Structure 1
Amino acid sequence: MPDFLVLIRDTLRRGIRLPPAGWVLAAILAFYVLAGLFGRDPWKGEDAIHIGAAWHMLNFGDWLSPDLAGRPFHEPPLYYWSAALTGMLFGSWLPLHEAMRLASGIWVALALMGLYYAGRELYGEDHAAASPLLLAGSAGLLFHAHDAQPMLIALAAYSGALGGLAAIGRKPRLTGIFYGLAIAACLLGTGIAPTLPLLAIAPIAWWLSPDRPKALHTLLIGFAIAAVLTLPWPLLLLNLEPARFHGWLATELAPLNTPFSVVGGGRFIAMLPWFAFPAFPLAIWTLRLRRREIKAPAQLLPLVFLVLTLLLLAWAFRPRQIPALLLLPPLALLATPGALALRRGAANAFDWFAMSTFSLCIGIVWLGWSAMVLGWPEQMAKRALVLRPSFVGHFDLLALIIGLAATAWWVWLIITAPRSHYRSLTHWTLGCTTLWLLATTLILPWFDFNKSYRPVAQAIAQALPPDHGCLAERALNDTQLASLSYFVGIEPVAEESKAGQACNWLLVVGDTRRELAAPNSKWTKVWEGNRPGDRKETFRLYRH
């Protein structure tokens, strides 16, 4: 028997080695990063908005500043640069929106790598794999890691900065480079407010360093690198397009002019038990377990960074899931010692909970697929139609093969995983990933049916004549504008603008007669429709 077949046979019998390291850990994290990036349209919300802005940058070649459906989009450019670049590189092999969404996978991969090095520096080689597994296993990240989302750049910057600052006493030169790159990426990717904790942690890192003069020199190098990489873009924007620069600056400063909200901070904390599970309870366990070592760098660095981030969120952000992503890197790092120091009973209970929960959920996904494609169970099939009226399921052989392979992988993992303090954490993270892969493969058409504006955009384009000229819009949000621009190349102007007043076509959206009414009796309704299954959002197209 050839050697590689022997290796495969032995691996199938033995299972993956724990703790995962090297190519095994890389494969696990790559599986997490890639699951859910493909096979779907831009979904309503953030995904469609940011894909639309990246598409406009790529399609029209305006790389200086992002636009959304032909209008200035006052956001930092780094995510759109990266998404446009991945679209350019992989757009010939993939649908363009999937190629651009690969940028999110790259930023998530960088976040996992940064946290791996942070865990290795603070807690040692045996603990290193736990930090990225905890980040990947956080329930909140799973819902956003596979969308087009600029906040993923801040996630990577926070993880990279923690990885660099954790090594400030051992590798000061590398720390300066990592820290500078993290600040620059955060500023160019997500703006001023999310960058503030990265700046505020510098005095703490200096104070915790065993060689403070060298640490000061290291941090100054980091600031210099950040300045060199960051300043050219706003200076160029100010010089070439001053109106856009001032619009961007006003947008950046607006959150910092809001009052500090204790209630908002409390809501972010209240979100953590589910959003950051299992990192949140394990971080509390770590603090209790190591309460006598709380001043040691391994505990104090992530703890202070977590507090600084929470203070920023209470000051500059409304309690939402997307800014809460910033809490995950320090929480995952803080939870690392506790995750591997659970008592046997707690570790077994966590392992049993992970295996049973995800096995049950995987079974439910298969039932959903059966209801969608085969019409059984009948009650579930009827319920699916209630939630998505007029949806019709279709058999997809590739989706079935991927689903069977993922399910077999999960069963093999449960059967073969050896006893280890990593076992429960590995089961949790891979269970999350397997479930997400199955959901975005087997029942993806059901989700896509209600989350994509493609059918509406195509219907509007068909209702308009080829030479329709100017089209005005009333009350369309950023998602709808981005979808019209991306799917059919239509970029309407605002009704109240000077250009909009001269248009002979008007597109409105709403859910009441008043919102959907024509401006006056001279307008004639040409078309009316909505997204499949959406009864609260109606589009009407009028002609003057």
Structure 2
Amino acid sequence: MPAMIRTALAGDPRRAPWLNASSLFWIAALLVLGAGLGLRDPWPADEPRFALVAKHMVESGDWLFPHRGGELYPDKPPLFMWLQAVFYALSGNLRLAFLLPSLLAALGTLWLVRDLGRRLWSEQAGAYAAWALLFALQFTWQAKRAQIDPTVTFFITLSVYALLRHLLQGPDARWWMLGWFAAGLGVISKGVGVVALLVLLPAAWARWRGWDGIAAMRGPRFWLGPLALLLPLAAWLLPMLMAVHASGDPALQAYADNILFRQTAKRYVDPWHHHQPFWYFGKVILSQWLPTVLALPWMLRPWCTALRARDPRILLPLAWVLLVVLFFSLSSGKREVYILPALPMLCLAMGPYLAGVLERPWPRRLGFGFALLLVLAFAAVGAALAFSEPAFEQKFEAARGVAHGGDAVGWLMLAIASFGGAALAWWRVARGELALAWTLAGLWVGVSLFGYPLFNDASSARGLMRTVGEAIGADAELGLVAWKEQNLLMADREVVEFGFLQSRQVQLERAIAWQAQAPDTRWLLVRESALPECADRSHGRLAGSANRRNWWLLRAGAWGGCAGGLSVPGAGGEDEDADDGG
């Protein structure tokens, strides 16, 4: 069996046809990326927001203007939420639907990298590139989350894939058009899809310098690309702008202005949050692109040799990676996920040489050492949770919002460490890369299958909202103040909210007036940090904690001492922990 696995990992399908390179890879990818599907609800910061928008689309029938509760949500283009809504409409199960776009996008990105490596070099090159991408920490982590980034990464990778098919294996007008079209899909996913077109810059430079093997698209057929880019934009923008114009609604006009200008050019040129230094993405690459980046020192020589030989197969993806990192580095607003689309092309450029690199002793030692560090870290923390003094466990539970789950988390971490330790003992230093692959696979599968249920109630607010529903009874009405998207999403009934972007002062004033209309049947769920000093907490109860926030459930009598006016903490400014999701 180990010999067959080594053969399959090396990209050689001889013997064991059921365990060839392709089948083994896709089995591993489905296990690592798909484990835990359906075992958790959306978790903050971004997941409940997008799932709430998608749910509203299906239930309201309004797919053109995304809503967060009763307010328009203008921070992101709608394509990702459309995908979630489609899967929700088809399945009727939000737990499945909200993660499916990320899972399918990640699998699609892996296929593109593997196929392009096969076409440009060999089956083995494509296989190694795909394995390197699958186990890069940032790629796997994001693929298992319902954020926009895996989807936009797929569209950007598809765009670069198609353009490279034209540039390196063309000319081919069909691939040229698909490259631009996919970039347009990236734009209506997150606005940054056009970075895929940066690959045309090193291609133009190489042609100018006389490099061979690079196709051009001249004359009228060139404009087929920009036209293809405009198609997905027009499919979204034209109906939206026509509806805005026909409505005459100032709120819809503000939505259009925000999504078209504030969230695009203004966000890049003059960002209002996530400020980081110019070199920030270097830190991200060295930490979140592990373990793939451990092979970089051994890549420099073959890359330089290829560039001296004027090999455009290396120049184009590598130059594009550098341009993407530079593009996002020039803006002062940075988040680690911004450069995720560059990772697949870095793995592609590494693919032809990884087999040779992994025959060397030091890369194998590094892989083994990284796996050993993971095993020791999980073992240490797991043992501390399972066997230490209660104070440490209580501190962990408070920090992670897990009620009485520290022991279970500790034993889970010990189980993952034991699996990793067995992999280290089986493969040893001589096959350190396989020890690392098995350790990472065990980590992701273990956390997904057993960690998701442990953390879900607290992380998703399902436990809190279940407690609230049981406390007020089936016939009561519920209002939310200073709420987060997960509270609205996990509620067991139709609830009343008083604006998400409204100040806490305004929300609470509206909520008290609403509650006074039917004081015997209406309750308010209020975040503790938004409660004024005048509130009488004896007319309510601490409902519980979720996402490291305490929530109070209050009846109308709680506001008797507030007749002189409310003084709400944080009422004059933005929510102190607001996060627009980048």
Report the TM-score range of the alignment, normalised by the length of the smaller protein. 0.7 to 0.9
Which amino acid counterpart does residue 356 of structure 1 have in structure 2?
L
Picking from 2, 5, 21, the partner of 1:15 is: 5
Q: Distance in 2 between matches of 1:13 and 1:406?
A: 25
Partner residue, 1:374: none
* Code of the aligned partner of 2:61: G
Moved more, 130-139 or 250-259: 250-259
Give the alignment of 1:323-338 within 5 angstroms.
323-338=338-353
Match of 1:238 in 2: 241
For 2:210, the equivalent position in structure 1 comes to none
Distance 1:293 1:201 in 2: 18
Q: How does 1:56-75 map to 2 (within 5 A)?
A: 56-74=56-74, 75=76
Give SS of 1:531's match: strand
Deviations 1:74-94 (A, max 9, x none): 121111111122223333xxx
Q: Does 1:490 align with 2:495?
A: yes
Tell me the residue number matched to 1:503. Answer: 514
1:45 positional shift: 1.3
Tell me how far apart the structure 1 counterparts of residues 53 and 275 of structure 2 sit (CA, whole Å): 34
Structure 2 residue 388 is the aligned partner of structure 1 residue 379: yes
Alignment partner for residue 459 of structure 2, among 444, 451, 458? Answer: 451
Instruction: Look up the SS of the partner of 2:39 in the other structure.
Output: coil
Native 8 Å contact 1:51 1:101 kept in 2:
no
Q: Deviations over 1:445-478 (max 9, x none)?
A: 443354221122233445557676683623x3xx
Select the structure with the greater relative contact order (CA < 8 A; seq sep ≥ 6): 1
The TM-score normalised by the length of structure 2 is 0.75
Helix, strand or coil: the match of 2:481?
strand
Q: Could you say which residue in structure 2 is the equivalent of 1:388? A: 397
Q: Read off the aligned partner of 2:85 and give its amino acid letter.
A: A
- Counterpart in the other structure of 2:193: 195
Q: Is the 8 A contact 1:111 1:160 kept in 2?
A: yes
2:326 counterpart letter in structure 1? L
Asked whether the equivalents of residues 112 and 135 of structure 1 are also in contact (C-alpha less than 8 Å), the reply is yes
Report the equivalent of 1:255: 267
Partner of 1:265: 278
Q: Pairwise mapping of residues 94-243 of structure 1 onto structure 2 (< 5 A)?
A: 95-168=93-166, 169-171=168-170, 172-191=172-191, 194-208=192-206, 210=213, 212-214=215-217, 220-242=223-245, 243=252
The alpha carbon displacement at 1:517 in A equals 0.7
Structure 2, unmatched stretches of 5+, are: 12-20, 208-212, 246-251, 500-504, 516-522, 560-582
- Contact conserved, 1:118 with 1:164, CA < 8 A, in 2? no
Q: Tell which deviates more after alignment, 323-332 or 212-221.
A: 212-221
CA distance in 2, matches of 1:28, 1:418: 22
- In structure 2, C-alpha distance between the alignment counterparts of 1:258 and 1:19, rounded to whole Å: 47
Tell me which moved more, 351-360 or 256-265: 256-265
**Equivalents in 2 of 1:407, 1:147: separation in Å?**
26
Query: What secondary structure, in the 3-state scheme, does the structure 1 residue paired with 2:161 have?
Result: helix
Give 2:322's match in structure 1, choosing from 281, 284, 307: 307
Structure 2: how far apart are the matches of 1:481 and 1:76?
18
- For 1:252, the aligned partner's letter is T
CA distance in 1, matches of 2:99, 2:180: 26
Amino acid at match of 1:481: E
Question: Conserved in 2, the CA contact under 8 Å of 1:138 and 1:278?
Answer: yes
The answer to whether the Cα contact below 8 Å between 1:108 and 1:156 also exists between their aligned partners in 2 is yes
Compute the displacement of 1:61 (Å): 2.4
Structure 1 unaligned spans of 5+: 1-10, 372-376
Distance 1:426 1:40, change over 3 A: same
1:356 matched to 2:360? The reply is no
**Equivalence for 2:85:** 84
Q: Which amino acid aligns with 1:15?
A: I
Aligned to 1:8: none
Structure 1 position 68, deviation (Å): 1.6
Secondary structure of the residue that 2:315 maps to in structure 1?
A: helix
Shift of 1:280: 2.9
Q: Counterpart of 2:195 in structure 1: which amino acid?
A: P
Match in the other structure for 1:293: 306
Amino acid at match of 2:489: S
Which residue identity lines up with residue 292 of structure 2 in the other structure? A
After superposition, what is the alpha-carbon deviation per residue over 1:141-168, rounded to whole angstroms, capped at 9, x for unaligned?
A: 2322211111111211232223223222
- 1:435, CA displacement in angstroms? 0.7
Is the 2:420–2:438 Cα contact (8 Å) retained in structure 1? no
Deviations 1:225-267 (A, max 9, x none): 2322221211111111352322321333331332799963311
Show the counterpart of 1:4: none
1:347 aligns with 2:363: yes
- Deviation at residue 327 of structure 1 after TM alignment: 3.4
The count of aligned residue pairs is 506
**Cα contact 2:77–2:189 (8 A) shared by 1:** yes
Question: What is the CA distance between 1:66 and its match in structure 2?
Answer: 2.0
Q: Which stretch has the larger CA shift, 176-185 or 143-152?
A: 176-185
**1:522 and 1:262 mapped to 2: Cα distance?**
40
Amino acid at match of 2:461: Y
- Which residue number corresponds to residue 32 of structure 1? 32
Q: Cα gap change, 1:430/1:65 in structure 2, threshold over 3 Å: closer, same or farther?
A: farther
Please report how far the alpha carbon of residue 291 of structure 1 lies from its aligned counterpart in structure 2 after TM superposition: 1.7
Q: Distance between the aligned counterparts of 1:321 and 1:315, measured in 2?
A: 14
**Aligned residue number for residue 52 of structure 2:** 52
How far off is 1:491 after superposition?
4.7
Contact 1:137 1:428 in 2 (8 A): no
* Equivalent residue number for residue 282 of structure 1: 295
1:313 positional shift: 1.8
Partner of 1:529: 543
Counterparts of 1:61 and 1:154 in 2: how far apart (Å)?
25
How many Å separate the matches in 2 of 1:465 and 1:46? 30
**Residue type of the partner of 2:232?**
L
Residues 522, 32 of structure 1: alpha-carbon distance in 2 compared, 3 angstrom cutoff: closer
Distance 1:29 1:217 in 2: 42
Q: In the alignment, is the contact (CA less than 8 A) between 1:387 and 1:533 conserved in 2?
A: no
Displacement of 1:408 after TM fit?
A: 7.5
Separation of aligned partners in 2, 1:265 and 1:218:
39
Cα separation, partners in 2 of 1:382 and 1:472, compared to 1, 3 Å? closer
Task: State the superposition RMSD in angstroms.
Answer: 4.0
Superposed displacement of residue 492, structure 1:
0.7
Cα distance between partner residues in 2 of 1:173 and 1:406:
51
In the alignment, residue 456 of structure 2 is paired with which amino acid?
D
Cα distance between partner residues in 2 of 1:473 and 1:382 = 33
After TM superposition, give the deviation of residue 315 of structure 1 in Å.
Answer: 3.7
**Change over 3 Å in CA distance of 1:409–1:265 after alignment to 2:** closer
2:47 is matched by which residue type in structure 1? D
User: What TM-score, normalized by structure 1, do the two folds share?
Assistant: 0.79
Distance 1:367 1:220 in 2: 62
1:409-448 Cα distance to aligned partner (Å, 9 max, x none): 99589848998xxx65554344323211112223444433
Q: Structure 1 266/506 Cα, relative in aligned 2: closer, same or farther at 3 Å?
A: same
